[in-house]
A and B are shown apart, each in its own frame.
Chain A
Amino acid sequence: MASEDKAPRPLGDLERLVMEQLWAAPAALTVREVHEQLAATRELAYTTVMTVLDRLAKKKLTERERDGKAWRYRAAAPREELAAGLMRDALDNSGDRREALVRFVGQVSDEEAALLRDALSRLDSQG
């Protein structure tokens, strides 16, 4: 965990870009294919792409399969599915998950929403 934190920040950005490639592709991609697409817009070493894909596989965000001599990578789940899981995680109020995050605000009932607006207008009228 700590070693990943020490890695230069751009790797994180690359992870996002690579995932976007995989999500957009109709089939699993080889490292070379991902590299070709990314290298069209930025200077990038082949080995860097390999490292990023490897990291993503370790994080269980991609899955890989052998294709002859090369590995083919695909996203472990569609983007929407991962996003939905993320939101569930963040919004879940049940104690067991909640300690993972400290959320800014919880949800309120209708009466409470009225109380909130009331307190806010009092604050605003203080001038």
Chain B
Amino acid sequence: MTTPVLLAVLALVLTGPAPALLARSEWPYRVPRAAVILWQAIALAAVLAALGAGIALSYWIAGRPGHPRFEPSSPRDLLAALILAMVALVVGRLLWAIGRVAVGTRARRKRHRDLVDVLATPDGLIPGLRVLAEETPLAYCLPALRGARVVVSVGALDRLDDSELKAVLAHEQAHLRARHDLVLEEFTALHHAFPRWVRSDVALEQARTLVELLADDDARRRNGPRPLARALVALAGAPAPDAALAAAKSATVLRVQRLAGPAANERRLSAITYTSAAALLVLPTITIAAPIVKAIVDALS
């Protein structure tokens, strides 16, 4: 009985307290790349542990290793089968969510790109750049396998000098090159795959912030911290009414404060983070695999 309980506890810890604790910590912002991996590992490990708990429980109820025959008249076997069916249902729901998010995102992005192409004028400064004749300051990217776009509004151009614009474009190109949108898509799919009460908004929000930090680091390496920080302040100028309700410190404030500090070189911290991520993924796998391997060995000997 220990394996299903252990896995269930692990799944609960990884969906609740662990993400909450991690989201409140400041250190992940010092190692954004490793932190993204850690968040992915947590999400994946939580799913694996939850599924593993179901499989292990079903296996424990069915019992009697070496007797794999399904007996429909036995309530034990029926219960075991029911649990397995639920596991399959969860897997199905997860796959469905991934597919739906992928299709929906691409359709929406394609429509948006079609509109950008007829409404905004190309600018030769960087490939795929489109300038939108709007006063609202705005800069963003539309990722795609081919034909990605970077959209900048006239309002943004007015507010930025040359070096600041360069920093913004470097930031957007970093997003596009690294396909940060795919990372966010995973977390969005996960977010949609589970019922509201186990959903991790925290993971998606943190992934969004970390991805911004990664693009910032790239732009900083190219042009230094100052143009980017100035651009952030220039474009964040317009206060939003509902932003006051948001979390204590928005990603924008975090990013500028981070740029104001020295560039981090956190080899040890990132090594520890990567190791934890790997351990998290291996842990549930081993707990599931161990009894099964043991049963096979028992059956053979």
Contacts and interface: CB of A to CB of B under 8 A. Distances in A.
Residue of A13, A93, A101, A110 with most partner-chain B CB within 10 A: A101
A122 interface: yes
Contact of B251 (A106, A123, A126): A106
Contact of B256 (A13, A87, A95, A120): A120
B226 to A, nearest CB: 6
A43 interface: no
Contact of B257 (A19, A110, A111, A119): A119
Interface string A87-116: 101110101010111111111111111011
Nearest to B122: A13
Interface in B208-255: 211, 215, 225-226, 229-233, 235-240, 242-244, 246, 249-253
A59 B112 CA distance: 11
A44 interface: no
A91 B191 CA distance: 21
Given A12-B117, A15-B118, A110-B239, A104 B250 contact: no
A120 B231 CA distance: 10
Nearest to B112: A89
A120 B114 contact: no
Contacts of A93: 242
Contacts of B238: 107
B253 A79 contact: no
A16 B116 CA distance: 10
Contacts of B251: 106
Interface residues of A, number: 48
Nearest to B118: A19
A95 B225 CA distance: 29
Given A87-B134, A119-B229, A103 B260 contact: no
B121 interface: yes
Please report whether the interface of chain B is mostly helix, strand, loop or mixed according to DSSP.
helix
B27 to A, nearest CB: 19
A21 to B, nearest CB: 11
Interface stretch (B33-41, B103-111, B269-277, B279-287): B103-111
A42 interface: no
Contact of B119 (A86, A99, A106, A108): A86
A117 interface: yes
Residue of B133, B136, B239 with most partner-chain A CB within 10 A: B239
Contact of A108 (B134, B171, B240): B240
A122 B287 CA distance: 51
Interface stretch (B53-61, B70-78, B90-98, B141-149): B141-149
Given A61-B114, A86-B116, A101 B244 contact: no
Contacts of A85: 115
B146 A103 contact: no
Contacts of B10: none
Interface of A: 1-2, 4-5, 12-13, 15-16, 19, 56, 59, 61, 79, 82-83, 85-87, 89-91, 93, 95, 97, 99-113, 115-117, 119-120, 122-124, 126
